[in-house]
Chain A
Amino acid sequence: MTKLRRWLPALLAALPAPALAQGVVVAPHAVFIDHATRAGSITLYNPGEEPVEVSVSFAFGYPTTDSAGNVSVELSDSTPPGEPGAAAWLQAFPRRVTVGQQQRQTIRLLASPPANLPNGEYWARIVVGAKGGKVPVVGVPDSAAITVGLTLEIRTVISVVYRKGQLTTGVTLAPISAGYAHDSVHVRLPLTRTGTAAYLGTARVSVVNSAGDPVGQDERAVAVYHALNPRLTVPVGTLAPGSYTVRVSVSTDRADLPGREALPAPTVEDAVEIIVQ
């Protein structure tokens, strides 16, 4: 630790020029709170040369898909009826803070759930807003002195999961569909969650030709709170006419999350054949 304290100034001094612009670091990008501790935290760091005003608030939302398979998270201030929301009983300390230049700030998250909260998983989103401590006025005035200034506030939205009791998760994969267009293979993955907690995993897609040679692959993290039918696009270039197999595997390994936070579940797989004319 002593060595790290000694290195820190040198590390800060070594930051490249762009890092000196207004900005903020938010870590981690997902928070898991257990009913036993009822507390968590996020850490903010301002690498810039100006103070940054930070606000922390909570909302409800989780990933859903539209008819085309686009994934989005729509936030709402209140929890819709029937949904296991946690935003109403989560608090952040402090909610507003000015983080000085090259300073860090810990935001404590405390949960005050109802006394009779049933076992289960409860969801919320943390909204971290950050803007510069002063309003820059950009633009050069013309002869009549008209200037235009635009400030940019950046909001980071990360997930919060509150867990009580023993929870399980899983996912079912309905038959996948796939097609080839615009030098890419487009795959739809109709996923439905099972168990009592959100399914956090990774979907992997590979495309092989009739000889078994891979022609493309891709993967993306998936978070299935109820149901999700995402579209994955695998760039494959121009395919020669013939038959190709699209294989999909969905598992709970998530490189970006601590291993114990993504609840285990069996891997699900499917495959479909596509014909390129």
Chain B
Amino acid sequence: MNLKGLVSVLLLGIVPAAAAAQGQSTTTAVTAQVPGGPLTFLNVQDLDFAIVTRGVPKTVVRNTAAAGKVRVAGTANAFVQIRFTLPAQLPNIQAAPGVNMPISFSGTDGGWNRDSDSPTGGTAFDPALGDDGRFGPPPRPYLWVYLGGTVAPSGAQAAGIYQGSIILTITYL
């Protein structure tokens, strides 16, 4: 892709507000520069458990500000497959192997919404199973994906930093 194509990617996939504000003719012109269109991922917000207290499970609901949030931009109205790879335990990276904190995800901890960032109006799904989502119509071909979860520190949970990884896989259908 040349620089012109790169600019097209930027306009088409990363600058929603600017693209929406521009004339239709401009949008059409840059769209033609990148046949097939780009997929744009923005990890807008990590799943944030904030204060964790021994012996007290902590739940982050997917439609709250602490939930994980990703914005995907793609081809308008296209369908995509949403899949999560989720941990069951978060290891303590400052302790010997085997010191873990359980983490779990309920059947409604996943969510997605077309077009706009509105988790309360989106579709809930079990993140362990995934779901099929759909990009919004023009001029906002976006898919917002949300994730909540629960950590359950024990009453004798060792101090330290507990870290884990979540994989979000988006496949064009």
Using CB atoms and an 8 Å cutoff, list the residues of chain A in contact with chain B.
1, 4-5, 7-8, 11-12, 14-16, 18-19, 21-30, 41, 43, 45, 47-48, 63, 70-73, 75, 104, 106, 125, 127, 129-132, 135-142, 144-159, 219-221, 223, 255-258, 261
Contact = CB atoms under 8 A, between A and B. Distances in A.
B34 A148 contact: no
Given A21-B45, A150-B165, 9 more contacts: A28-B38, A129-B167, A138-B49, A148-B163, A151-B164, A154-B41, A157-B81, A221-B78, A256-B78
22 contacts: A4-B7, A19-B15, A22-B43, A23-B43, A27-B1, A27-B9, A45-B38, A127-B169, A131-B165, A136-B46, A139-B50, A141-B51, A144-B54, A145-B160, A146-B101, A147-B160, A148-B52, A148-B162, A152-B165, A152-B167, A157-B171, A158-B172
A184 to B, nearest CB: 14
A29 B165 contact: no
Contact of B161 (A27, A147, A221): A147
A43 B6 contact: yes
Interface string B5-28: 111011101111110000000000
Contacts of B13: 25, 27
A23 B39 CA distance: 10
Interface string B38-70: 111111111111111110000000000000101
B36 interface: yes
B105 to A, nearest CB: 12
A71 B132 contact: yes
A139 B164 CA distance: 13
Contacts of A130: 41
A70 B173 CA distance: 11
A158 B39 contact: yes
A149 B161 contact: yes
Nearest to B11: A11
B interface, size bucket:
35 or more
B171 A73 contact: yes
B48 A258 contact: no
Nearest to B130: A72
Contacts of B18: 14, 16
A157 B169 CA distance: 7
A144 B159 contact: yes
Contact of B52 (A48, A139, A153, A221): A139
A221 B166 contact: no
A30 B70 CA distance: 22
Contact of B10 (A11, A73, A140, A155): A11
B124 to A, nearest CB: 16
Nearest to A4: B3
Given A18-B71, A21-B44, A136-B46, A157 B14 contact: no
B116 interface: no
A139 B10 CA distance: 32
B170 interface: yes
Interface in B136-173: 151, 153, 157, 159-173
Given A4-B3, A106-B1, A139 B51 contact: yes
Contact of A14 (B15, B44, B77, B157): B15
A4 B33 CA distance: 13
Nearest 5 interchain pairs by C-beta: A28-B36, A27-B38, A23-B42, A157-B171, A258-B35
B162 A147 contact: yes
Nearest to B7: A4
Contacts of A125: 171
Nearest to A27: B38
A153 B165 CA distance: 7
Nearest to A135: B163
Contacts of B36: 27-30, 256-258
Contacts of A24: 40-41
